[in-house]
Structure 1
């Protein structure tokens, strides 16, 4: 699980911006939202322009240099360093809980691809270190990696990825944690459905949503999902120019899906596409959806959160929908308020003791919570 993330000198984040998922309270309700004392289900609120989308891009910067599952056509990282910061590098810090061990990975970059510094520790013991500003010689302490060359001349090559791809490590606890760390990172997924569909992690290439649904014979399941979400419809697979596509079925008369589907319905189908992958628990480890309910009715928003909770996958959702700030859905230490300098849960944003009976949406609208 991701327990803590810190970033500085990246996009809108000038000084250290800390997202701490380990600061939970002892609430007894909605206990499934917390795992091992870590927030497993988080909703993030904040005014436009505070950096909610940049927070997602910061967390998923790790995808570029540790996996092959990056979006090569993305322009999201062209503007990289913060305009007010005089440092030449952005600094990223990740803290994970893996098999009851504290795993910390931190690195510095001058741009999305160029890595200047890396450090990897397990329970505060250093296993890999490289500082290219001082020298290109790496420190590698994994058992089984003794014969690796410790000089890396390619600034785009991650030390950790170099170790993973060029060794068969011995079987011991530290190496098992190292491999599980990579499995977690490779299972991270970020997507949004606003002006255009965009995703990072899990897969490479461009997968057609409708084609995938038809290929995997999910048409009937999608129809059930849409009806459950309040969109009454019947679906049918049809041929258009010798190519199979999805259509609405009106008592035998068919109309291609994207010809008449609303923006909200399209966004919901995009969610369904990824939701089927999320349900494969071994595939997705961490999920971030930006503006997850921008096109949804508030009842549908609550349904989506409930469905995601059932998967057990750790997720972070950004939203402006205050109707789902309720203790019936999550709990005060799972709702986060964000401004340009900080992000805190509702539980940490007030001196008041919050209880299950409190109407926290009403308190939120009344200005009872403040991010300092």
Structure 2
């Protein structure tokens, strides 16, 4: 699980920006939204331009140099903060992996060029390089004794180099190291606004309808759409050597994407990834930007409930205040974001919040403030 994240000098983040998921309260309701004292289900609110999307991009910068998954390079063309005098963007992640605290921090001057890396497990340094001083790395993982530690290629991550060029002995530290990589490889970011963009998990784009057909999930997708309020029947029509997902109007098929609304297309994208969320160990962490941009508020609630069923740690950004309810999550799972800070509702008021409180009404009345 992701415990804590900080970033500075990246896109809209000039000074250090900290997103802390372990600052929780002991609420006795919606307990599954917090696991091991860490927020498992988070919703982020904030005005336009505060950096909600950039927070997601910052969190997923890590997949660019540690995995071979999709990175969508155009999203990182503007990298460093325009106002900062610092030469590097700094990232620091704290994870809970196999009950061990894993901290990984690195500095970059652009999307590809890595200047500094440090990796620790339970406070013990296991990998370190600072190219401002030397290209020589320090590596303490068992099984790397004969590994060359001079790493002049600044576009090659020390951690990825270790993973791909070592036969690690079987011990707790090495297993945690490999499970850390599994977590990173399972991170997924997607959004449906401004096109169907995603980061992580897959190495290339996949046609949504073809994937649903291939997995044999057309009937389940039909059930999902009807549950979401899109009354329809679906069928697959064969044209030459191609199968086309279609709406069934009493025997008359019409290709699905020719008449599907924006909301239905957004639901299709969500279902596409939901298939993978339902696969055990496929996705470890999910970030959906403006997750309900095309949804009615009741449908937004349904989507959150579907995500909760998967057990996957997720972070969603939204402007829909109707989701702020103790029936859905709890005050330490709703976050208010400003340009310089982000805190949960529970940490944004001196009042004691209880299950019976209408926290949406309190939010609209200005009862919470993190500035």
Q: TM-score, normalised by structure 1?
A: 0.99
Find the counterpart in structure 2 of residue 39 from structure 1.
Answer: 39
Find the counterpart in structure 2 of residue 16 from structure 1.
Answer: 16
Q: Which SS does the other structure have where 1:75 is aligned?
A: helix
- Post-superposition offset of 1:346: 0.1
Mapped partners of 2:157, 2:43: distance in 1: 32
Gaps of 5+ in 1: none
Matches within 5 A, 1:244-323: 244-323=243-322
Mapped partners of 1:320, 1:255: distance in 2: 34
Mapped partners of 1:263, 1:242: distance in 2: 28
Are 1:97 and 2:96 counterparts? Answer: yes
Mapped partners of 2:273, 2:197: distance in 1: 12
Are 1:49 and 2:49 counterparts? Answer: yes
> Deviation string for 1:205-239 (max 9, x for gaps)?
12110111111111111000000111100001113
> Deviation string for 1:289-310 (max 9, x for gaps)?
0000000011100001001001
CA contact 1:2–1:94 (8 Å) conserved in 2: yes
Mapped partners of 1:187, 1:214: distance in 2: 23
Q: Which SS does the other structure have where 2:73 is aligned?
A: coil
Q: Which SS does the other structure have where 2:169 is aligned?
A: coil
Gaps of 5+ in 2: none
Matches within 5 A, 1:1-372: 1-71=1-71, 73-240=72-239, 242-372=241-371
CA RMSD of aligned residues (A): 0.8
> Deviation string for 1:116-154 (max 9, x for gaps)?
000000111100000001000000000100100010011
Mapped partners of 1:152, 1:266: distance in 2: 46
Mapped partners of 1:359, 1:278: distance in 2: 31
Q: Which SS does the other structure have where 2:90 is aligned?
A: strand
> Deviation string for 1:274-298 (max 9, x for gaps)?
0010111211000000000000011
- Post-superposition offset of 1:242: 4.2
Q: TM-score, normalised by structure 2?
A: 0.99
- Post-superposition offset of 1:371: 1.5
CA contact 1:325–1:360 (8 Å) conserved in 2: yes
CA contact 2:7–2:89 (8 Å) conserved in 1: yes
Structure 1 segments of 4+ aligned residues over 6 angstroms from their partners: none
CA contact 2:70–2:204 (8 Å) conserved in 1: no
Mapped partners of 1:267, 1:324: distance in 2: 18
CA contact 1:281–1:313 (8 Å) conserved in 2: no
Q: Which SS does the other structure have where 1:269 is aligned?
A: helix
Mapped partners of 1:84, 1:365: distance in 2: 33
Mapped partners of 2:264, 2:73: distance in 1: 25
> Deviation string for 1:84-130 (max 9, x for gaps)?
10111000000001121111000000000000000000111100000
CA contact 1:3–1:21 (8 Å) conserved in 2: yes
Q: Which SS does the other structure have where 2:74 is aligned?
A: coil
